[in-house]
Homo-oligomer: A and B are copies of this chain.
Amino acid sequence: MGNTFGRLFRLTTFGESHGPAIGGILEGCPAGLSLDMDAIQLDLDRRRPGQSAIVTQRKESDKVSFLSGIFEGKTTGTPIGFQIQNDNPKSKDYDHIKKTYRPSHADFVYDKKYGDRDYRGGGRSSARETACRVVAGGIAKQLLSGVSIQAFVTQAGDISLEKKWDSLDLQESEKNPVRCPDPTTAKAMETHIKEVRKKGDTIGGVVGCLIKNVPIGLGEPVFDKLHAQLGKAMLSINAVKGFEFGSGFGGTRMKGSEHNDSYNSDGSTQTNFSGGIQGGISNGMDIYFNVAFKPVATILQEYETIDKEGNKVKAQGKGRHDPCVVPRAVPIVEAMAALVLADFALLNRSSRI
């Protein structure tokens, strides 16, 4: 359980960090979609380790192979099987955690739940699985023609983007390694990340996401509201601790008379505290939300923890890890948003006779 996402546009993934490969099966992609493979690989490259000086320096080429469901460049309607080799598994790096539980990792709970675990590189709980989300999300983006999904970093540690999104050129975010749309703030964040890394420590941050040109009517009533599914999608990404959309937590302090979004004659609204979603259904305005990421649990410092038998042991983080995940989380956030929207777009084909 837990390895499938979506109802009609549905991704199922497999794979541990240090097995031979990770991969997935994407079901329900309608037939006849011409796929731009380079665009998919580009998103994988945005997520890839080693892409800049401020992310983990692990070497993973992250090239995806498609095994089915595509014929002469187009989807055929049958399931799209795909795979990414794990081409550089340094499993020895993980011998030290074989019998040790790293704090705030999944080691302990996997052992308790399943009786044992593939400890190499975090196994199934490794963020490596998110590469499969990016592959499927890349296909979803192409299915959602006309819709623009752009994520970017708004906070790294305690450095926040102070300017409002709509005053910024979001394309700027891809021009710096932090993926913050304001070059000055990006520079400060970059410096901050480097300092933190030097101390063997880590920080968290916030990723914002803006989605434009969403058709009206996506989302389903009651339990499968559009923002509920977006929230689940984001919260399922490793290290995420919170999700808010539209006015979010800040909006709780407003009055109803301030918060209500008045209509223009064309059905658009004068303000957008609703964040593009009303009653769980898209209203055609921009969807925007924030995703909170905790500081990376793997720190390159000595720490005390316990082993399988409950003995206190000293341990030391090793290997090549991210000091801050938000720059690499940006394409994952986009991918998950695309999966949610693609699924609802297909479901919405049945809303009327």
Contact = CB atoms under 8 A, between A and B. Distances in A.
A219 B114 CA distance: 12
Interface string A61-105: 000010111010011111111010000000000000000010111
A278 B108 contact: yes
B255 A71 contact: no
Minimum-distance CB pairs A-B, first 5:
A106-B279, A2-B220, A242-B244, A14-B81, A202-B256
A282 B106 CA distance: 10
A4 B204 contact: no
Nearest to A120: B71
Contacts of A280: 2, 106, 125, 236
A296 interface: yes
A152 interface: no
A137 to B, nearest CB: 13
B109 A255 contact: no
Contacts of A349: 346, 349-350
Contacts of A205: 252
Interface stretch (A26-34, A49-57, A161-169): A26-34
B76 A273 contact: no
Interface residues of A, number: 147
Interface in A206-249: 206, 216-217, 219-225, 227-229, 231-233, 235-236, 241-249
Interface stretch (A39-47, A176-184, A257-265): A257-265
A233 to B, nearest CB: 8
Interface string A7-39: 110001111100111111101101111000000
A276 B13 CA distance: 26
A300 B289 CA distance: 29
Given A206-B249, A241-B247, A108 B267 contact: yes
Interface of A: 1-5, 7-8, 12-16, 19-25, 27-28, 30-33, 65, 67-69, 71, 74-81, 83, 101, 103-106, 108-110, 112-118, 123-125, 129, 143, 155, 157-158, 196, 201-206, 216-217, 219-225, 227-229, 231-233, 235-236, 241-249, 251-267, 269, 273-275, 278-283, 290, 292-299, 301, 303-306, 310-312, 346-353
A319 B242 CA distance: 35
Contacts of A310: 265-267
Given A241-B247, A278-B104, A306-B263, A14 B68 contact: yes
Contacts of A252: 155, 157, 204-206, 241, 292-295
Contact of A232 (B22, B101, B129, B229): B229
